[in-house]
Amino acid sequence: MILDNYLKLKVIKMDFWLKDCKIVPENIEVSIKIENGKIISLKKIAPRRAEIINMKGSVILPGLIDSHVHLRDPGLTYKEDFRSGTRAAAIGGFTTIIDMPNTIPPTNTPHAFLEKLKIAGKKSLIDFGFHAGLGKLADINKINKFKPASFKIYMDLIDTNFLDEIFSVLSKMSDIKPLISLHCEDKDIVTNNTNKEREKKKIKPEFYANARPPLAETTAVSNALSLAQKYGLTIHICHVSVKESVELINNAKKSNIKVTSEITPHHLLLNLNYLKKCGNFAKTNPPLRDNENKIELSYLSNIDIIGTDHAPHTITEKEKNMWDAPPGIPNLETTLPLLLTEINRHNINFADLKRLICENPSKIFHLENKGFIKEGMDADIVMVDMKKEGIINPDDFKSKAKFSPFKGFKVRGMPIMTMVRGEVVMEEGDVFKNKGKFVYS
Ligand code: DOR
Ligand code: ZN
């Protein structure tokens, strides 16, 4: 047990200090006063008589924010639910998640949004927000009042004409203009290529990547950027997978188009060979890319956030044939260990990590009290052990999805304690009860 005096604190629920925390990348030690779930002050030394949790010089990070998860609740809870999904999140050092709308029913009506609020309010162990889907255009204004993090559009599922209409409606909304998150793959290119690939007699994993080629992504990214410019709206491009998309987005930024970009751990750390090697366990949309197109770690400085796109499915579903198995990879428990490992290898640094998965998600999705360790913020804190080693083993996942293309990866650096608004929700792999809260209330 790391926090030898934590349980006592939990019983009496006093305000307390986290003593001797190492702040990175500055490498300074501070003690943090926490009162009613908020960070009250940061001092060099904790007062002698205070209630203390001794962090013994461990590295701490702001609680991680995952703005792209699929917790499948309601409707698909055999794959995941708010309890299992947020357990996995707490293990992975996440203190806030933003859930995607492709549940059953989809989160695209005021009623569905309120139902999801109730469910997450009961089951979520960490703080949460929701992206809304698009249903009837008349519902958009009503849903916007409930404060979705964004409206999510799957460009692989809708026609370009309809897209223009949606942007037009969103741009005319009376109050705050909503953010639009986009899955960028062009519907026509994906449909045509998929039909062509499916005609082949054999099935090879790489055919799936051919069915959704880089051009499908870059065409959709270009269209999305044009619409953002035409209607003056802010867009967030989810899971970029090819270098050219990053270049398109960064050029658009130079022309003052309001756009941000996201990458997943799998698009960053895996290539097409993993689709060949792991089959459907590495099947995801957009697909993994060959080295020529893939985004290298050195490109991270051009990207705004890391989102896990935690997309759980059952093994039985993944064992279907390549065309029928659902796409998606569960990542909540692998992302931070994988990134800490890259820090230990000097491929990325702590400043990047904090920017990509704490600070920028907070700024982009307007999470006022999250993402930073400073006075006035929620006491969302992760303690990491940079020397702790392990091997990724999906059998140990708290997520219901017990598979991963990262299976067998050796990691060095792991989260060992997760605190949400001053409450310890995870300590050395044990998860405790906690009541997560809607971040936009
Ligand atoms: O791989 C994916 N899985 N990409 C998506 O866009 C959806 C997701 C899912 O919900 O399973
Ligand atoms: Zn997704």
Whether residue 85 sits in one domain with residue 70: yes
Cβ 181 under 6 angstroms from ligand 1: no
Ligand 2 centroid to Cα of residue 311, in Å, is: 7
Is residue 291 situated within a structural domain? yes
End-to-end Cα separation, the chain, in angstroms: 34
Is residue 210 situated within a structural domain? yes
Whether residue 124 sits in one domain with residue 87: yes
- Please tell me the least confidently modeled range out of 5-19, 115-129, 164-178: 5-19
Whole-angstrom distance, CA of residue 276 vs CA of residue 297? 21
* Averaged pLDDT, 161-182: 88
To test the pocket of ligand 1, the residue of 66, 68, 70 to mutate (highest count of ligand atoms within 8 Å of its CB) is 70
Out of 322, 339, 364, a domain closes at: 364
Cβ 68 under 6 angstroms from ligand 1: no
* Averaged pLDDT, 374-395: 98
In this model, does residue 250 exceed pLDDT 90?
yes
State residue 46's pLDDT score.
87
Residue 177: band (very low, low, confident or very high) from pLDDT cuts 50, 70, 90: confident
Residue 138: band (very low, low, confident or very high) from pLDDT cuts 50, 70, 90: confident
Question: Residue 327 CA: which ligand 1 atom is closest?
Answer: 1
Whether residue 349 sits in one domain with residue 208: yes
State residue 297's pLDDT score.
96
Whole-angstrom distance, CA of residue 194 vs CA of residue 213? 10
Whether residue 94 sits in one domain with residue 39: no
Catalytically annotated residue among 309, 352, 378, 380: 309
Cβ 70 under 6 angstroms from ligand 1: yes
Ligand 1 centroid to Cα of residue 262, in Å, is: 14
Residue 4: band (very low, low, confident or very high) from pLDDT cuts 50, 70, 90: low
- Per DSSP, the three-state class of 329 is strand
Top pLDDT among 160 and 13 is at 160
Whole-angstrom distance, CA of residue 392 vs CA of residue 410? 7
Whether residue 189 sits in one domain with residue 50: no
Is residue 107 situated within a structural domain? yes
In this model, does residue 400 exceed pLDDT 60?
yes
Whether residue 243 sits in one domain with residue 383: no
Is residue 95 situated within a structural domain? yes
The residues whose Cβ lies within 5 A of ligand 2, an ion, are: 309
With a pLDDT cut of 70, the percent of the chain lying above it is 96
Out of 329, 364, 399, a domain closes at: 364
Residue 7: band (very low, low, confident or very high) from pLDDT cuts 50, 70, 90: low
State residue 13's pLDDT score.
59
Cβ 285 under 6 angstroms from ligand 1: yes
Cβ 327 under 6 angstroms from ligand 1: yes
Whether residue 86 sits in one domain with residue 46: no
Decide if 354 contacts 340 (C-beta within 8 A): no
Residue 78 to residues 85, 200, 334, 349, 368: CA-CA distances in angstroms?
12, 33, 21, 37, 33
> For the domain that residue 220 is a member of, what is the CATH number?
3.20.20.140
Q: What is the mean pLDDT of the chain?
A: 95
Instruction: Using CA atoms of 234, 239, 242, 244 in order, give the dihedral in degrees to the nearest 10.
Output: 10
> For the domain that residue 38 is a member of, what is the CATH number?
2.30.40.10
| Domains contained in the chain, number | 2
Ligand 2 centroid to Cα of residue 184, in Å, is: 11
**Residues 66-123 pLDDT 10s:** 999 999 999 999 999 999 999 999 999 999 999 999 999 999 999 999 999 999 999 9
Tell me the residue range of the domain where 139 lies.
63-364
Residue 161: band (very low, low, confident or very high) from pLDDT cuts 50, 70, 90: confident
The model scores a pTM over 0.85? yes
State residue 154's pLDDT score.
97
**Which ligand ends up closest to the CA of 184?**
1
In this model, does residue 12 exceed pLDDT 60?
no
Decide if 100 contacts 435 (C-beta within 8 A): no
* Averaged pLDDT, 263-288: 98
Whole-angstrom distance, CA of residue 76 vs CA of residue 330? 15
Is residue 248 situated within a structural domain? yes
Top pLDDT among 159 and 272 is at 272
State residue 47's pLDDT score.
87
**Residues 22-55 pLDDT 10s:** 999 999 999 999 999 999 999 999 888 888 899 9
Question: What DSSP line would sit under 187-249, residue for residue?
Answer: HHHHHHHHHHHHHSSS--HHHHHHHS-HHHHHHHHHHHHHHHHHHT--EEE----SHHHHHHH
Whether residue 148 sits in one domain with residue 40: no
Question: Residue 283 CA: which ligand 1 atom is closest?
Answer: 1
Cβ 102 under 6 angstroms from ligand 1: yes
- Please tell me the least confidently modeled range out of 5-19, 85-99, 315-329, 352-366: 5-19
Out of 312, 331, 364, a domain closes at: 364
Is residue 340 situated within a structural domain? yes
Residue 1: band (very low, low, confident or very high) from pLDDT cuts 50, 70, 90: low
309 is an active site residue: yes
Residue 386: band (very low, low, confident or very high) from pLDDT cuts 50, 70, 90: very high
**Residues 196-234 pLDDT 10s:** 999 999 999 999 999 999 999 999 999 999 999 999 999
Is residue 263 situated within a structural domain? yes
Ligand 2 centroid to Cα of residue 28, in Å, is: 37
Whether residue 387 sits in one domain with residue 290: no
Cβ 183 under 6 angstroms from ligand 1: yes
Closest-CA residue, ligand 1 atom 3, reads 328
Whether residue 271 sits in one domain with residue 242: yes
In this model, does residue 434 exceed pLDDT 90?
yes
Residues forming beta bridges with residue 183, ordered by sequence position: 154
Is residue 440 situated within a structural domain? no
Whether residue 160 sits in one domain with residue 19: no
Whether residue 73 sits in one domain with residue 45: no
